[in-house]
Structure 1
């Protein structure tokens, strides 16, 4: 990592945060390197589901049977053809079963959902032909309940894996997930143990999420969540710590901005001016009273001259924006109103909450920069332009060639 930073000419002090997985060696590597780092939220969800739910024996046995059934249709075109015929006869949509990948828990959810959708067709198929595994009535019910429990995890995983997701989405997502798992409904018969086990895994994996500066400062700086700040933080002490830390960060930014902005001729005006006492002759009590008044006035002047706290309080008192709005666009529009806070926001809201989007980027590049495309010739663009004779197509192809 240090060699990579040196090759790109990036000072280690400029590294705001490094997003990593939750392996112990990665944590130690970032700690020894001396850079701040946080774990990928999507990876933490993966660990929570595996520890809290997929490690249960009844669930693992059901998933194993479901995996065998899906694998049978994946490896037998004849079986898939017969299943499609059954779907047509039952007036069902023709859909293929999805195979799961054990390293992605949401793929297991998609496999369960695809099996539940094709339950009628699979029952007809099993009556005519032999399957490598059978699902009992209890296992079908367990699959349905497992899918219901995992649905909130899947929705939150998609939210934190979006391209526009930031570190500000972590604390609200965990708070919402805790409330959903701790809520008891009438339909929870048979899945209470699942929800309790998952809740314990979430509490274990995200125990320190509200004390991580990157997460709590980013949450306060997101205009979508600041109105519900009291409810997103489970402890008032954590919220107080977040506000104090935010004010300190804004004050530091304001101090750096003000160092070069103070003119030299005003230095004399900034010096304290001694005031004459109100009375020529004062008793000791009067003198103490005057001292208290002067201390109070000096405190009032210091608060009024420092706009960090004023900016934070004014910003937090405003109405929050819509959930689907862009927080970066908000700070772009309010940069003149909160200049120092906007600078802090661009720093803390730049960090993503998961590494999924970067993995998608590498996958997209792998599809473009592939050995199968190494025989493309630059003259192909001229042949297309000759046959089409369109300036627009020629302009696009010229851009691609460049």
Structure 2
């Protein structure tokens, strides 16, 4: 088993240029249910520093001094991915982003303030928590968009493909693509429309 794990890690390091552990740590750090739980003080300091660097890069990219031509293409994009739509709904704010403070000192204060809060209950939805607290952390919420938008597993998408496979069978080969899409959507979201 150890040999298998070692081989998987080697293959992943060879194929991917990013540190998967680093991304997982950052995603856990911005999840209010976990934050820096289980990390040593050295690792916690490294993750906080990495989050500050990421936040500075994001804020620099989205600052008004950054090329004005790129801004309309982001906002005028008519098609959002499903995850993008969920994040937009969860974090869409009527306030303008021009009020965010890009001062490195305040970014560090914001990160320290976030980590000084208690960890929330495991059953609390992190996206709802961030929606409720986005005014306290206007800069840090941008990292949440980056790291909590990543599904932890591929299980949900695999379930949808399984539903699609069971819907578009040989016996139902005359279904059009739009009908299959509608049936899969209804089946995958049945919990939302079936009253209990």
2:143 to 339, 344, 350: 344
Which residue of structure 1 aligns with residue 59 of structure 2?
Answer: 254
Residue 167 of structure 2 is aligned to residue 368 of structure 1: yes
Q: Matches of residues 3-14 of structure 1 in structure 2 within 5 Å?
A: none
2:32 to 216, 219, 223: 223
The count of aligned residue pairs is 134
CA distance change for structure 1 residues 222 and 365 in 2, over 3 Å: closer, same or farther? Answer: same
CA drift at 1:238: 1.3
Residue 130 of structure 2 is aligned to residue 321 of structure 1: no
CA distance change for structure 1 residues 376 and 310 in 2, over 3 Å: closer, same or farther? Answer: closer
Deviations 1:82-141 (A, max 9, x none): xxxxxxxxxxxxxxxxxxxxxxxxxxxxxxxxxxxxxxxxxxxxxxxxxxxxxxxxxxxx
Gaps of 5+ in 2: 1-7, 67-102, 177-196
CA drift at 1:376: 6.1
The alignment partner of 2:122 has SS state of: coil
- Tell me which protein shows more helix as a share of its residues: 1
Which residue of structure 1 aligns with residue 91 of structure 2?
Answer: none
Residue 47 of structure 2 is aligned to residue 242 of structure 1: yes
Which residue of structure 1 aligns with residue 3 of structure 2?
Answer: none
The alignment partner of 1:248 has SS state of: helix
CA RMSD of superposed structures (Å): 2.9
Provide TM-score, normalisation by structure 1. 0.30
Partners of 1:328 and 1:346 within 8 A in 2: no
CA drift at 1:25: 5.3
Select the structure of larger CA radius of gyration: 1
CA distance in 2 between counterparts of 1:37 and 1:373 reads 44
Provide TM-score, normalisation by structure 2. 0.58
Deviations 1:364-398 (A, max 9, x none): 11011222212569xxxxxxxxxxxxxxxxxxxxx
Which residue of structure 2 aligns with residue 396 of structure 1?
Answer: none
CA distance in 1 between counterparts of 2:62 and 2:153 reads 32
CA distance change for structure 1 residues 358 and 251 in 2, over 3 Å: closer, same or farther? Answer: same
CA drift at 1:324: 0.6
Q: Matches of residues 276-315 of structure 1 in structure 2 within 5 Å?
A: 306-315=105-114
Partners of 2:168 and 2:175 within 8 A in 1: no
Which residue of structure 2 aligns with residue 354 of structure 1?
Answer: 153
The alignment partner of 2:108 has SS state of: helix
